[in-house]
Amino acid sequence: MKPINDFPAMWENDEARVDVCYSAAGVSTTVIVTSKFTGKILIADVGDGTLRDLLSMFKTEFVEEIDMICITHGHFDHMGGLHSLLGFMRDWNRGPALDILTPAGSIEVLNMVRGFREAYRDTTSFRIRLQEVRPGVGFDTDFFKLNVFDVEHSGMENPNDEDVLMPAVGYRILLGDTTISYTGDTRMCESTKDLVRDADLAIIEATLDSPPDSGHRVHLTLDEARELASLAKDAMLIHRIPKIDGASKLPK
Ligand SMILES: [Zn+2]
């Protein structure tokens, strides 16, 4: 299975349509799941450009139709577009309450939403229900059912050389009879296999071409992503390192 390097990429069956609007490590990732029966939308990760992508796909209908936003972890390339999206929905007077799921203790997301609430509390037309989730829990709305899985991911937050994991989860999304798994960012671990097993579609990060020479394992290699993909019925391999001025690896 080849990784997808050009976006948008789309997958669909009778019940669901999945659009990976864009995904590149250290830039942005946005996954949009739309129910073909209800028109309701789930957004998994809200990277920079999410608002622009939604406008190009749906005009402004999404303002009312987004049922849930679930965020895998607090790195900017997975949540940097959240402020813009909330601001737009406020401008357009969204009505329904909005559930935002984020890993427990994800300070980037918690602080961003807290700042938005503080700035616009009295002038926001909809309620933001921020749900801090932990692996093993489920979360249901009238339209989507989610199960939360442990993944192992870290970044450059730790100034020491210790292997410190950050709050990070993967989501298994059920919509009718369709199961869509999304790993977010992770290194290989047993729970990631459980996350993708037998899914109709597994969306898997495949950041690295080969294992890093040294340091802690932060992302999946292409071979590991392929191994995970073999456990699911269908898969998309995303979140590659973009070609920026010839750079071929993530900055240290
Ligand atoms: Zn990350």
Indicate the domain borders of the chain.
9-154+164-238
Residues 6+ apart with CB under 8 A from 206: 3, 220, 221, 222, 224, 225, 226, 237, 238, 239, 240
- Ligand 1 centre to CA of 109 (Å) is 13
Once rounded to an integer, what is the mean pLDDT over residues 108-125?
A: 97
Beta-strand relationship, 145-150 and 138-140: antiparallel
- Ligand 1 centre to CA of 72 (Å) is 9
In terms of CATH, what superfamily is 9-154+164-238? Ribonuclease Z/Hydroxyacylglutathione hydrolase-like (3.60.15.10)
Residue 190 burial class via C-beta count within 10 angstroms: exposed 0-12, middle 13-18, buried 19 and up: exposed
* Average predicted confidence (pLDDT) for the chain: 94
How confident is the model at residue 243, as a pLDDT? 79
How confident is the model at residue 161, as a pLDDT? 75
Using pLDDT thresholds of 50, 70 and 90, give the confidence band for residue 159.
confident
- Ligand 1 centre to CA of 183 (Å) is 11
Using pLDDT thresholds of 50, 70 and 90, give the confidence band for residue 247.
low
Locus of tokens 């699911």: 232
- Ligand 1 centre to CA of 92 (Å) is 31
Q: What is the pLDDT of residues 212-231, one digit of tens each?
A: 877 788 999 999 999 999 99
- Ligand 1 centre to CA of 154 (Å) is 7
Q: What is the pLDDT of residues 168-197, one digit of tens each?
A: 999 999 999 999 999 999 999 999 999 999
Strands across the sheet with 41-46, in order? 9-12, 16-24, 28-35, 41-46, 66-70, 98-103, 128-133
- Ligand 1 centre to CA of 52 (Å) is 22
